[in-house]
């Protein structure tokens, strides 16, 4: 009986991971298509950048040839934003305006049922739906300030990816996020603020480990999460050293 239970749980986890991987692949396929079109000259580098923003923020503006049958969330849009900021001066005013409009905070109303909340530490900008099937729970009692409690507590848990899952075992990241979403755990990430944990430096006895540790401790202190969740095993060891 116990073995059957373990088998069922294992199958469930595999199905969840498979779903997350399929979604991640769908997003990657779009990026690969855009990059291939840019390499072949079908798209300019400016158009390619704009299409990436369209995919992330407003899929209806994508041309039919680049609009996939199903949309899946991309792992992260930080790279697009960094590229935009680096290339802003060389982009046409029309493209800059289009991207700035996509990035601008939205206020909930009858036409755009979304709202944006800036976390108390000023680090996280959370955009959420206020109506429809994807709307956040509207409960607003702790405190009663016009912001849903669900949104205000979203940054209580910090998801720390680490180098391995960000650059090597990259499937772990979307799988972890899928599992947390499935069980209803709210979390925030550090984006490009995340720094190496220093695990490899510690193993070889390099002094740089202390620099990595201090940099992360400063960031953690500034974000002040109640819980830090890591996606790879060295993180549990590093926690003891920190």
Domain ranges of the chain: 2-103, 111-150, 156-241
Comparing CA positions, the residue from 194, 119, 38, 147 lying closest to residue 138 is: 147
Beta carbons within 8 Å of 100's beta carbon, 6+ residues apart: none
Q: How big, in percent rounded to 5, are the helix, strand and coil portions of the chain?
A: 55, 10, 35
> The tokens of 31 are what?
């990026």
pLDDT at position 124? 65
pLDDT at position 63? 93
pLDDT at position 19? 44
Comparing CA positions, the residue from 160, 152, 157 lying closest to residue 128 is: 152
Tell how strand 157-160 and strand 227-230 pair up: parallel
pLDDT at position 50? 95
pTM for the complete prediction?
0.46
Beta carbons within 8 Å of 13's beta carbon, 6+ residues apart: 179
pLDDT at position 90? 94
Report the 10 Å Cβ neighbour count for 17. 17
**Which parts of the chain register pLDDT below 50?**
1-24, 236
pLDDT at position 123? 61
Cis peptide, bond prior to residue 143, ω within 30 of zero: yes
């Amino acid at each position: 009986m116990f073995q059957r239970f373990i088998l069922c749980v294992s199958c469930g986890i595999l199905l969840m991971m498979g779903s997350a991987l399929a979604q991640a692949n769908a997003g990657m396929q779009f990026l690969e298509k855009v990059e291939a079109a840019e390499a072949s000259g079908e798209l300019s580098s400016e158009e390619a950048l704009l299409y990436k923003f369209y995919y992330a923020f407003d899929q209806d503006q994508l041309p039919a040839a680049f609009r996939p049958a199903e949309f899946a969330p991309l792992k992260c849009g930080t790279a697009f934003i960094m590229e935009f900021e680096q290339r802003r001066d060389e982009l046409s005013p029309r493209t800059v305006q289009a991207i700035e409009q996509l990035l601008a905070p939205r206020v909930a109303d009858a036409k755009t049922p979304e709202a944006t909340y800036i976390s108390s530490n000023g680090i996280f900008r959370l955009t959420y739906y206020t109506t429809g099937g994807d709307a956040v729970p509207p409960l607003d009692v702790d405190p009663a300030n016009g912001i849903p409690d669900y949104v205000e507590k979203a940054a209580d848990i910090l998801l720390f990816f680490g180098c391995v899952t960000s650059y090597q075992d990259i499937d772990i990241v979307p799988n972890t996020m899928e599992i947390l979403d499935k069980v209803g755990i709210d979390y925030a990430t550090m984006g490009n603020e995340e720094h190496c944990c220093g695990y490899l430096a510690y193993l070889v006895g390099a002094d740089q480990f202390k620099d990595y540790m201090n940099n992360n401790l400063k960031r953690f202190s500034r974000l002040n999460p109640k819980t830090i969740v890591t996606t790879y095993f060295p993180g549990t060891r590093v926690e003891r050293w920190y």
